[in-house]
Amino acid sequence: MAKGLRIAVVGATTTAGKEIIRVLEERDFPVGTLLPLETKGSLGNTVQYWQEDLPVQDVTGASFTGVDIAFFAAAEKVSGEFAGEAARRGCAVVDTSPRFRMDEDVPLVVPEINSHAIAGHAGIIASPSPAAVQAALVLSPIHKAAGVRKAVLSTYQAVSDMGEAALNELTEQIADLFNFRETQSAVFRHQMAFNVIPQTGDFLENAYTADEMSIVEETRKILEDESIRMSATTVLVPLYYCHSQSVNIETSKKIPPEKVRALLKKSPGLKVEDDPAAGIYPLAVYTAGKDECFVGRIRQDLSAENGIVLWSVSDNIRKGTAINAVQIAEHLISMER
């Protein structure tokens, strides 16, 4: 692969798709032609790339003929319908949907951690859920240094993972409440404005949600260690962007908080902000739009002998989706040189 690639973005008008296009531009990705694609009904829409309005085209199997890399940022069913066809036509697919994440033959990649897995792809590479990207970035260096035996995550998730409709409904609910009107909930199961909802995804037979189990399964796959005991609780909070996570970690070897802090400061994709006495710790309002996952409140877990507790915040759309997907594609290019 060389400069002047033909790049497709499926779901180009979604929240994630627009951010991928923005990141391609910011990182000067070697795009020769950008092809914005959407499912039927998108004709007449445009997306902006390098100050040029590009018409959005309906996606078909033939759309991927001659395409070098396709980013899929649409619904899972769209990836299921078109990603395989794109790969058969010689296009490398970077899929941000859940469709292929747990397929044995599909690499699930966070480039800072397991870029080596990209070499084994057979046309499709999966990008993890933003919450799993965030968890894996934090756990990976600790696991390498001290062996993570157990991790318990509580994740406070922004509504943007649910798309444009969720962003709009939260805005409408806030406006309704300020104007003394009753709120309407079509996207959310309950009122989202000024509320927290302890559910993202459908509940499974084990009383966990699909999203909670995906964080566990995806994180283990990225870290290449199925023996790590994990549990997750996902909570939807009334924020537009940025997931926050409280993480309790139990390690095989004792590792003091100061060593964890030093370790994370050296780890790619992370930025440590940890001076609680001065009010310095990761906050969603300052993390939005940033390329790193921020970590702070690093301390001893008083409930476990070899325990560490920390707090992390990451922009779920930018870092958790767009940056991760584009980094995967950058590694693809470097492998072909």
Would residue 86 be called left, alpha or beta, if left means φ above 0 and alpha means ψ between -120 and 50 degrees? alpha
What is the tens place of the pLDDT at every residue in 105-130? 999 999 999 999 999 899 999 999 99
DSSP assignment of 239-278: -SS-EEEEEEEEESS---HHHHHHHHHTSTTEEE--BGGG
Judge whether residue 262 has pLDDT over 90: yes
pLDDT in tens, 73-103: 999 999 999 999 999 999 999 999 999 999 9
Per-residue pLDDT of 143-173, as tens digits, reads 999 999 999 999 999 999 999 999 999 999 9
Q: What angle do CA 80, 19, 60 make, to 5 degrees?
A: 35
DSSP β-bridge partners for residue 232: 153
Residue 2: its pLDDT value, please? 46
pLDDT value of residue 40: 76
In the predicted model, what is the mean pLDDT of residues 9-27?
A: 97
With cut-offs at 50, 70 and 90, classify the pLDDT of residue 44.
confident
CB-based contact 234:199 (threshold 8 Å):
yes
User: Can you give the length of the chain in residues?
Assistant: 337
Q: Across-strand partners of 148? A: 251
**pLDDT category, 3, cuts 50, 70, 90?**
low
Those residues with Cβ within 8 angstroms of residue 77's Cβ, 6 or more apart along the chain or in another chain: none
- Average pLDDT of the chain, as a whole number: 96
pLDDT at 178 over 80: yes
Whether residue 87 contacts residue 303, with contact meaning beta carbons closer than 8 Å, is answered with: no
In this prediction, residues 270-286 reach a mean pLDDT of: 98
pTM for this entry: 0.96
Instruction: Estimate to the nearest angstrom the gap between the alpha carbon of 25 and the chain centroid.
Output: 19
Asked whether the predicted pLDDT for residue 17 surpasses 70, the reply is yes
How many distinct helices (H) and strands (E) make up the chain? 9, 14
Domains and CATH numbers, the chain: 5-128+321-336 (3.40.50.720), 132-316 (3.30.360.10)
pLDDT tens profile 222-259: 999 999 999 999 999 999 999 999 999 999 999 999 99
pLDDT for 145 equals 98
Which one-letter DSSP state was computed for residue 127?
A: P
